[in-house]
Structure 1
Amino acid sequence: MPEATVTTAAPGARATTARQPAQLFAVAAVSALGGLLFGYDTGIISGALLHLRQDLALSSREQEIVVGVILVGAMVGAVWSGRLAGRHGRRRLLVSVAVVFAAGALGAAFAPGVGTLIAARFVLGLAVGGASNMVPVYLAEVAPASIRGRLMVMFQLMVAVGQLIAYLCGWVFAGSGGWRIMFGLAVIPAAVLGVGMLRLPESPRWLVDNGRHEQAEAVLRRLRPAGTDIAAEITSIRQVSADAPRTDRRALTRPWVRPALVVALGVAAFSQLTGINAVVYYAPTMLADAGFGDSAALLTGVGIGAMLVVAGVTGAIAVDAIGRRRTMLCFIPLSGLAMTVLGAAFLLPDSPAQRWTVIISLFAYILFNGIGMQSVVWLIGPEILPLSVRGPATSLATLTVWGFDLLIAVTALTAINAIGRSGTFFVYAAMNLLCIVFVLLKVPETRNKSLEDIETALRTDGSLRRALAGQR
């Protein structure tokens, strides 16, 4: 893999141009496969559901259970992965996640009935929760501040790629029984993730936090450009680690930690309340039921996957180019507007113009929400949460993502049946508006700040936003 020239900065130092070692990007690429599996295993149900519901004669409520059970598993996986990673390390946990991914995929592919399929998707959820929790933490702890956003958003980009592949598989393998092939294909990237992680280093911050300073220094020398002041970075990490109390339940309630928790949990909640996964999970089903036809609905799903990838690439550039906070404030209003137009389109009489309005507004919503919300949600938590509580606090943020995702998954079809497509989409549009208010009031800018700079700002009296803005 060729080296890339980017801007880097040591804690407290001015940014300088340096060539990043190839292994840093290998770390990002291999670990981000967890994102691909996350996206594929959550997205594959969208295409599979059209024929799965026919093969197994599922009601709307049973469809919601099949979709939602993976999210229940993800909630459990998010809780336990933080504790296990704190005890055994980020790398070892991600190897285990790959094994669980493979086991769940095989279980779903060979499931003889609904009960077995539900159990297999719960196992997949354990892996999805572990990956969504610990891959961003791992990337945050190995990446230099100047490109941390770019590397971490690779995780969300790979989620989008996984969802696009899932939609394509749903289209290619459409037909009775094709869902078994769709589920089984996830074994391949799971095997690559497991083997790849065996060759990658442990998080240097976890090593320092566990007293293994020489190993941490050796890892940083492999992951930083030649000439980087490794000793200064190790000293900064050691200082923060020494100042931090050992993790316990009370640490999460300390007043200085609270602003970071509010930001992490708030962004996590709004990432789902703004409606993204109602569209990702159910768009083909909703469009087919609205008269678009199965083939057109599946092709629209492929378009949604493509928009997620475009949003992932654009978001990866935006979070480092203009900042996390500004990216949200630029694109979430557009997301809400597109969702409003989508809701209004379903009030119009059926016609070619109405159908094109539905499709275009659907694509626009996916694009803008993908850039403004989904590119930030897996980035902001690991960045802003302090080292001493990063494992359990990130687990809590991930649990919040999956909890609200589950809420959307098990209520979307019910809401459509109760208040119609337009009413449901108008509710999601209102959530976009509330999200804008939350970002304006609570979310600080973390671009180009080291994790140690952010933690220092947290410990400063007064507003976190002003403390970070005042750093040089």
Structure 2
Amino acid sequence: MTSPSSTVPRTGSAALRPVLGVTLVAALGGLLFGYDTGVISGALLAIESDFHLSPFHSGVVVSSLLVGAMIGAAGAGGLADRHGRRPVLVTAAAIFTLGAALAALAPSAPVLTAARLVLGLGIGVASNLVPVFIAELAPPRYRGRLVGLNQLMITLGIVLAYVANYTLEDVTHSWRWMFGLAAVPALLFGTGMLLQPESPRWLALNGSPERARSILRRLRGHDDAAAADAELAAMTALSPVRRGPTASGGRWRALADRSVRPAVVAGIGLQILGQASGVNTVIYYAPKIFESGGLGSSASILATVGVGVVNLVMTPVGMAVVDRFGRRRLLACGAAVMAVALAGLAATLAAGGQDSSLAWLAVLCVVLFVAAVATTLNVVVFIIPSELYPQHIRGTAMSATMFANWSMNFLVSLTFLTLLDALGGPGTFTLYAAVCALLTLFTVRRIPETRGKSLEEIEREISRTAGATR
């Protein structure tokens, strides 16, 4: 017998237009993620001067965002599974607005630290739910590109933060304006989400199939009502035991269930290995890396700007191919290139030391690494988990996944300078290259291909795989 999901037609470009507007609004959460992450780089010097911060207290101000992101990511999924995706995203917009206002008006370093913690909560919620919300609304044929739009907006947010930092550098109380500007997209995000529909998948499995049908017909086009009805049938064909809200503790326990274990291992393993590859340390500490390779201070900053441009330009390239090339193949190829680039960087640092004749070869290795990250890892890191998890625990599973992401981000950022001091540049980047090689192997062995499949088809396939390995 043909499963209901197999009757869902592969939609054409007409199906993309109605859902694109919803995706763009939701992806404003990614823009805020990027802006609030990147703005501290330009604001910190002025903050240190105004509040007379020690290096330790500066670190507390910076890292409080990551702590908030861990908390926000951990808590968002259970709330979204109980109350829906849209209300929690609206709440995230309110958190972003409050955090921006509090940071802009902060009278002291402790208040600014608290404001950064609040902003981190918003980032944690957005990093968890924006990909899930988009994935649950998107047609299978375009799901990768649409979820990838979130990553593009994160990258754009970082660039906008750099532009704001540069533009406002000489303004009185510049850092307050830098933080306060984030309230504008936060208000747009909240207002826009109030006008968007709830996830039809969440509605279908929580007692509102007719509302789900109406939303699907609008998103897929009223002229293709049969396709929307077939898609709804595929959603509601899931086991009745899995429908409807369950206790939060039950959802967390469900992550250990044998039927979802392959998805959990793939999703969380990707976050741990992806962060352990050193991707963020290369971005955060690029000037220091270039200086250790022999470049002067000014040239190091210029090279870092170039790295940021490469990151922004290459992200749409990954978005353009992810639905054609496939998630697993794209990530495996990208991780292999990342390993080669970091091994080259380690060898260049070992051979060149402070000799500037090899410095630009180090820059080339970093650019190659960032280009590979932007076109592969950064594109799929949110797409893959948003597709893998079963509907009834998708939000909670994404909480566990993004908590792992932010925790590993915090740990790697915290230990990078210590590693650099203990192992030197060659040893540190050789270690990261080995992690990239491990990520390549993990991708081939543990991450299933999800390209072009409905979320229900993916759920069934993973459940069958789990059953076959018992």
TM-score, reference length from structure 1: 0.90
Q: Which runs of 5+ in 1 are unaligned?
A: 1-8, 467-472
Structure 1, residues 102-127: CA drift from partner, whole Å, max 9, x if none? 21122222333322222111111100
The gaps in structure 2 that reach 5 residues or longer are none
Counterpart-to-counterpart distance in 2, 1:194 and 1:114:
28
Count of aligned positions: 457
Cα 1:147–1:403 change in 2 (3 A) is same
Question: 1:17 and 1:261 mapped to 2: Cα distance?
Answer: 31
Query: How many angstroms apart in 1 are the aligned matches of 2:50 and 2:282?
Result: 23
Mapped to 1, the partners of 2:52 and 2:293 lie a distance apart of 20
Match of 1:136?
131
For 1:236, the equivalent position in structure 2 comes to 234
Superposition deviation, residue 132 in structure 1: 0.4
Question: Shift in Å at residue 356 of structure 1?
Answer: 1.7
Match of 1:73 among 68, 71, 95: 68
Q: Which residue of 2 aligns with 1:86?
A: 81
Verify: 1:426 aligned to 2:430, yes or no.
Answer: yes
Is 1:31 equivalent to 2:26 in the alignment?
yes
Q: In the alignment, which residue of structure 2 is the partner of 1:121? A: 116
Q: Is the contact made by 1:161 and 1:308 (CA closer than 8 Å) also made in structure 2?
A: no
Q: Which residue of 1 aligns with 2:158?
A: 163
Q: In the alignment, which residue of structure 1 is the partner of 2:280? A: 277
1:437-456 to 2 correspondences below 5 Å: 437-456=441-460
Counterpart contact for 1:31–1:135, Cα < 8 Å: yes
Q: Give 1:254's aligned residue.
A: 257
> By how many angstroms is 1:286 displaced?
5.2
Corresponding residue SS for 1:240: coil
Alignment-mate amino acid for residue 242 of structure 2: A
Please give the alpha-carbon distance, in whole angstroms, between the structure 1 residues aligned to 2:302 and 2:166. Answer: 7
8 A contact 1:308–1:367 mirrored in 2: yes
Q: Indicate which of 417, 420, 445 corresponds to 1:416.
A: 420
> Is the CA contact 2:267–2:384 (under 8 Å) kept in the aligned structure 1?
yes
For residue 241 of structure 1, report the CA deviation from its aligned partner.
Answer: 5.7
Aligned-residue offset at 1:329? 1.4
Using the TM superposition, give the Cα deviation of residue 197 of structure 1 relative to its aligned residue in structure 2, in angstroms: 0.8
Using the alignment, how far apart are the partners of 1:53 and 1:368 within structure 2? 35
Q: Distance in 2 between matches of 1:271 and 1:116?
A: 33
Using the aligned pairs only, state the percent identity: 40
Cα distance in structure 2, aligned partners of 1:103 and 1:376: 30
Q: 1:397 is matched with which residue?
A: 401
1:316-347, Cα deviation, whole Å (9 max, x unpaired) = 11210100001011111111211222233333
State whether structure 2 residue 181 is matched by structure 1 residue 185.
yes
Whole-Å separation in 2 of the counterparts to 1:368 and 1:281: 17
Identify if the C-alpha distance between structure 1 residues 51 and 365 changes in structure 2 by more than 3 Å, giving closer, same or farther: farther
Whether contact under 8 Å (2:290, 2:363) holds in the other structure is no
Cα distance change on mapping 1:238 and 1:136 into 2, 3 Å: same
8 Å contact from structure 1 (residues 171, 299) kept in 2: no
Shift of 1:92: 1.1
The farther-off stretch of 85-94 and 417-426 is 417-426
Q: Please tell me whether the aligned partners of residues 386 and 455 of structure 1 are also in contact (alpha carbons under 8 angstroms).
A: yes
Stretch moving more, 192-201 or 342-351: 342-351
Aligned mate of 2:382, from 378, 402, 419: 378
Deviation per residue, 1:69-96 (Å, 9 max, x gap):
2111111101111121122211111111
Which residue identity is paired with 1:15? Answer: R
**Taking structure 1 as reference, are residues 346 and 108 closer, same or farther at Cα in structure 2, changes over 3 Å only?**
farther
The answer (yes or no) to whether the contact 2:293–2:359 under 8 Å persists in 1 is no
Secondary structure in 2 aligned to 1:210? coil
What is the alpha-carbon root mean square deviation over aligned residues? 2.5
Give a deviation string over 1:305-326, Cα, whole Å, max 9, x none: 2222223201111210100001
**Contact 1:46-1:284 within 8 A present in 2 as well:** no
8 Å CA contact retained: 1:259, 1:458: yes
How has the CA–CA distance of structure 1 residues 57 and 344 changed in structure 2, closer, same or farther, with 3 Å as cutoff?
Answer: farther
Work out the CA distance in 2 between the residues paired with 1:57 and 1:292: 30
